Amino acid sequence: MTERIPCKSADCGATILPRTAEKTGGYCMPCVQYRQRLEREEFIRRHRRDVNLYEGITDPVEILKIMCEPRVSDPLIRYTAYEKTAEELYASLSAPDAERMKAYAAALIAEDEPDIAEDILLSLACFTGIPVQDCLPALIRKECYHPGILYKQAPAAIRDFLLDQVEKDAENRNLLLLALAWIGDETVAARFNQWRETPPVWAEELYVPPHQYSLEAGWMLNGEGLRSDLFYKECRTFEKGIPSGGEPVSLFGETEEFCRGCGGGMTVLFDLDLRHPSLRFLDMEGERLKIATCLSCTCYGFLFTDIDGKGGSGWSRYNPAPAVSPEPEGEGPPEDGERPALRFSGKERGTYYAAVWSQEPAVASQVGGHPTWIQDAEYPDCPGCSGKMSFLAQFSWEDADDYGEGITYAFVCKDCQIAATHFQQT
């Protein structure tokens, strides 16, 4: 049996073959690899340099182009971040600069870089509200129909092409229906209504009826077959910071209600002063609206509460009865020190500013506007009248905590005076 010798590392108890020791200088291979890693890390530490790709550049378009360019990872280079985020730059673009960005996106599509181009166009559509329809023909030639929101303001010629294409392009039919839903004009609504009344043969291939794709774009067909929006066009947002106590919308208020499902305390997720000018677009009667919920149970389905215009919010009889009668646990909303450092700013922003979750806006919490669906669109059916409830507001847990995840949504049926909440996450 060949004699083994101990590794030269003082704190290593391994033994190695003599021929291995000759190659490694007396060290076992794990110790050799460890020493090599330390040497590599020290080499990187000594030779790493900071590179500022934005140095001397003030043109926001050129800065955004640099941000869009893919970078090869190099451990010896540490890139300096720009002082503003891409979101901030897009939101501040002038109309001429936005046109330049669209031209850049068109060039990328021609160069067969549709993914980067789509991200640019998506940022323009959400953060600036500037139409991008002049880039759609180039995307169509590449059979790029996603994300559908890019087609929101598509002209009639593109709409008619998509209506024709959806009948014969089975491979892209799902994306084509989403694009049509985002167009959502009278012609599209009429075709969706036609499909509702007489489902096409290919409808059997879908997971939901074709007319229900409209929900992804925030609308539905009413009884007359016309479009009915499920969200407010006006949108007011929150901002990072400790609430002062005088805002027209506050978060995580107290309530004496407890959850009949789990027995835990309920929380007033949104408390809105309906008399404030920034909230008049809600067009709701009364002085105060409270949306209460159980932060635990709403993760598993819609939770309904009865509301009024006087700040009342109580457990709704329409919630499913619990399997057992829970005893109140006395748990209330978070303590003041645990409440999110987020306050209502009242600032108005575009309807679709936060409509696409993958765009990761700095603040997704809002009142009004189009919801930020993380999964599929889920508008609850009002248990009182069976109609779809309208989206009212949303709270993003990422806005309040670096480790937060998911969004809690609030909905209302004005006629039945019923509110609902729901939660989505990845």
pLDDT of 331 > 50? The answer is no
Nearest Cα to Cα of residue 119 among 284, 407, 359: 359
Residues 341 and 384 both lie in one domain: yes
- Does the pLDDT at position 374 exceed 60? yes
- C-beta of residue 126 within 8 angstroms of C-beta of residue 357: no
Total tally of structural domains belonging to the chain = 3
Q: Which of the residue ranges 161-165, 337-341, 364-368 would you say has the lowest mean pLDDT?
A: 337-341
- Residues 32, 12: contact at Cβ < 8 Å? no
Report how far apart the first and last C-alpha atoms of the chain are (Å, whole number): 58
Whose CA is closest to 305, among 280, 271, 332?
A: 271
Token representation of residue 381: 């059916």
Cα four-point dihedral sign 105, 109, 112, 117: positive
* Whether 112 and 181 share a structural domain: yes
Q: Report CA-CA distances (Å) from 292 to 284, 335, 346, 359, 401.
A: 17, 16, 21, 29, 21
What integer is the mean pLDDT of 219-238? 97
pLDDT score at 336? 47
Mean pLDDT of 246-265: 92
> Are 360 and 382 in the same domain?
yes
Contacting residues for 412 by C-beta, under 8 A, at least 6 apart: 284, 289, 291, 307, 389, 390, 392, 418, 419, 420
CA distance 65 to 98: 12
Shared-domain flag, residues 241 and 222 = no
pLDDT in tens, 166-184: 999 999 999 999 999 999 9
Kindly state the DSSP code that residue 69 receives in the 8-state scheme.
S
Which class for 116: exposed (0-12), middle (13-18), buried (19 or more C-beta within 10 A)? Answer: middle
Per the domain annotation, does 373 fall within a domain? yes
* Domain-embedded: residue 54: no
One domain for residues 165 and 246: no
Predicted confidence at residue 410, as pLDDT, reads 98
Is 399 a residue whose pLDDT tops 60?
yes
**What's the confidence (pLDDT) of residue 180?**
98
CA 2 to chain CA mean position, Å = 64
3-state secondary structure of 130: coil
Residue 92 tokens read as: 């501040």
Question: Do 99 and 40 share a structural domain?
Answer: no
pTM of the predicted protein model: 0.89
Domain range holding 11?
A: 5-47
Both 301 and 176 in one domain: the answer is: no
Residue 40 lies in a domain: yes
Write out the two tokens for 105.
């996106």
Token pair of 90, please? 């897009």
Q: Which residues pair with 253 in a beta bridge?
A: 268
* pLDDT value at residue 415: 95
Residues 400-410 have a mean pLDDT of 91
- For residue 25, tell me if it sits in a domain: yes
CA distance 247 to 344: 6
Residue finishing a domain among 196, 229, 262: 229
Residues 242 and 114 in one domain: no
